[in-house]
């Protein structure tokens, strides 16, 4: 005789599942299949501006599949031109910029956020919620306006806030060119993504059993050793989760490079945006997006694994 929970039976569950399954399949998975489809299309001066590989027919009138690999070929050509110095490789440069920026953002968020989250997790219990809310509060206010705030702070003219301060203190004689460069974008990204690093780190560190640290101290380990051999390994999951939560969306970021980078910082997000908008080359935009998602699969899987394990361990 075997038994199973009675509530698991019946058709109720099927109907409950139908809504999210249908919604996500139609509005998330299908659109993604369309990206792949369009990435194999030919640009065209039409509405929408591409000819689908399924559009033509064979000689006997049956529907045919004629993919146009031109968009991917452009990316391939840039890759092949790596050996040629001085060649123009706009897409490759955008990929490299994006990954580098995302990696730097992740690193800065980690260096800034880990000691912060550690202190927060050790704060008196009555204060923790308030302190955490103070981290979240900027996140709830408009993202665009927070980036805008940095436009004012970093402004390269003498009216820029940081320049005003530096000039006023006599540190510099001429205003510094702070805005519209990679540094400005990095500051904006770290600023915007910091909460995504702090929250998983905090959630992890707050569960850390302090007795383990005391035990390590008791066994004669110096504070630095305790940190490196006990605290750090135990918070690895929080570090991975936080890093992935910052890195993955940062790779595709569009707004911050656009507003703080000016014309100088090209990223994948901007390149997709430009091909989609002004250039009207949707197949190219789609191909660039497909390659980016393929690149992000490894970190996404890593995040998923750690998320699941953390969920079980909690």
Partner 1 sequence: MCEVSLDIGEREIFALLGSSGCGKSTLLRMIAGLETPSSGRILLDGEDLAAVPAHRRPTNMMFQSYALFPHMTVADNVAFGLRQLRPRMARAAIAARVDEMLELVQMRAFARRRPQELSGGQQQRVALARSLAREPRLLLLDEPLAALDKRIRQQTQFELVGLIRRVGVTCILVTHDQEEAMTMADRIGILSEGGLVQVGTPGEIYERPNCRFSAGFIGETNLFHGRIEGDRLASSDFPQPIVFAAGAGASPPSGGEAWLSLRPECVRVHRRAAGDACVAEHPGENVAAAEVAEIAYLGGRSIYHLRLPGGRAMIASVPAAHWGETAPPARGEPVRVSWPAPDGVLLLR
Partner 2 sequence: MSGGWGGRAWVLGVYAFLYVPILCLIVFSFTAGEITTRLDGLSLRWYAALARDTELHAAVLLSLRVGALAATAAVVVGTAAAVILVRAGDYPGSRFFLGMMSAPMVMPEVVVGLSLVLLFTHPALAILGGRGVAAIWVAHTTLCTAYVAVLVASRLREMDRALEEAALDLGCPPLKVFFVITVPVIAPALAAGWLLAFTLSMDDFVLAAMLSDPGSTTLPVLVFARLHHGLKPEINALATVIVVVVSIAVLLANRLLLGPPRAAAQPSAARGG
Which of 73, 80, 133, 215 is in the footprint of partner 2 by CB under 8 A?
A: 133
Asked if 109 and 197 count as a contact pair (C-beta separation under 8 A), the reply is: yes
Distance CA 62, CA 148 (A): 54
The nearest distance, CB 211 to partner 2, in angstroms, is 15
Q: Does 119 bind partner 2 (CB under 8 A)?
A: yes
The nearest distance, CB 11 to partner 1, in angstroms, is 13
**Nearer to partner 1 by C-beta: 3 or 297?**
3
Q: Which does 3 bind (CB under 5 to 8 A by kind): partner 2, partner 1, none?
A: partner 1
Environment class of residue 102 by beta-carbon count within 10 Å: exposed (0-12), middle (13-18) or buried (19+)? buried
Which of 30, 64, 79, 82 is in the footprint of partner 2 by CB under 8 A?
A: 30
Number of neighbouring beta carbons within 10 Å of residue 50? 25
**Nearer to partner 2 by C-beta: 82 or 212?**
212
Interface positions, 173-202, toward partner 2 (CB under 8 A):
191, 194
**Nearer to partner 2 by C-beta: 37 or 182?**
37
**Nearer to partner 2 by C-beta: 17 or 69?**
17
Interface positions, 1-60, toward partner 1 (CB under 8 A):
1-7, 9
- The CA-CA-CA angle for residues 37, 43, 46, to 5°, reads 105
**Nearer to partner 1 by C-beta: 12 or 115?**
12
Q: Which does 43 bind (CB under 5 to 8 A by kind): partner 2, partner 1, none?
A: none
What is the chain's alpha carbon radius of gyration, rounded to the nearest angstrom? 25
Number of neighbouring beta carbons within 10 Å of residue 66? 15
Partner residues linked to 50 by β-bridges = 43
Q: Does 252 bind partner 2 (CB under 8 A)?
A: yes
- Give the single-character DSSP code of 231: I
Q: Which does 164 bind (CB under 5 to 8 A by kind): partner 2, partner 1, none?
A: partner 2
Residue appearing with tokens 């490789």: 89
The nearest distance, CB 38 to partner 2, in angstroms, is 6
Q: Which does 122 bind (CB under 5 to 8 A by kind): partner 2, partner 1, none?
A: partner 2
Angstrom distances, CA of residue 310 to CA of 51, 153, 204, 239:
46, 39, 9, 12
Question: Is residue 25 left, alpha or beta, with left meaning phi > 0 and alpha meaning psi from -120 to 50?
Answer: alpha
Q: 99: which 2 tokens?
A: 């990954």
Q: Does 12 bind partner 2 (CB under 8 A)?
A: yes
Binding site for partner 1 (CB under 8 A): 1-7, 9
């Amino acid at each position: 005789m075997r038994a199973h929970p009675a509530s698991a039976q019946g058709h109720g569950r099927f109907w409950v599942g139908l809504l999210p399954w249908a919604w996500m399949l139609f509005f998330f998975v299908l659109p993604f299949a369309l990206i792949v489809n369009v990435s194999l299309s030919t640009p065209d001066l039409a509405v929408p501006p591409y000819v689908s590989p399924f559009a033509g027919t064979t000689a006997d009138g049956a529907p045919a599949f004629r993919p146009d690999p031109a968009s991917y070929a452009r990316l391939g050509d840039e890759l092949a031109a790596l050996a040629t110095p001085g060649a123009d490789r706009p897409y490759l440069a955008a990929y490299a910029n994006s990954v580098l920026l995302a990696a730097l953002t992740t690193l800065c968020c980690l260096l800034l956020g880990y000691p912060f989250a550690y202190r927060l997790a050790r704060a008196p219990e009555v204060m923790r919620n308030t302190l955490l809310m103070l981290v979240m509060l900027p996140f709830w206010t408009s993202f665009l306006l927070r980036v805008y705030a940095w436009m004012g702070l970093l402004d390269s003219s003498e009216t820029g806030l940081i320049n005003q301060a530096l000039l006023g203190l006599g540190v510099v004689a001429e205003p510094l060119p702070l805005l519209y460069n990679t540094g400005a974008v990095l500051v904006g990204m770290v600023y915007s993504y910091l909460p995504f690093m702090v929250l998983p780190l905090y959630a992890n560190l707050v569960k850390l059993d302090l007795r383990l640290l005391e035990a390590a101290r008791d066994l004669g380990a110096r504070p630095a050793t305790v940190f490196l051999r006990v605290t750090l390994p135990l918070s690895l999951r929080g570090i991975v989760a936080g890093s992935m939560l910052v890195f993955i969306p940062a790779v595709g970021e569009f707004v911050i490079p656009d507003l703080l980078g000016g014309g100088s910082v090209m990223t994948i997000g901007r390149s997709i945006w430009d091909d989609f908008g002004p250039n009207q080359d949707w197949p190219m935009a789609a191909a660039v997006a497909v390659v980016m998602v393929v690149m992000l699969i490894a970190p996404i899987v890593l995040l998923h694994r750690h998320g699941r394990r953390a969920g079980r361990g909690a």
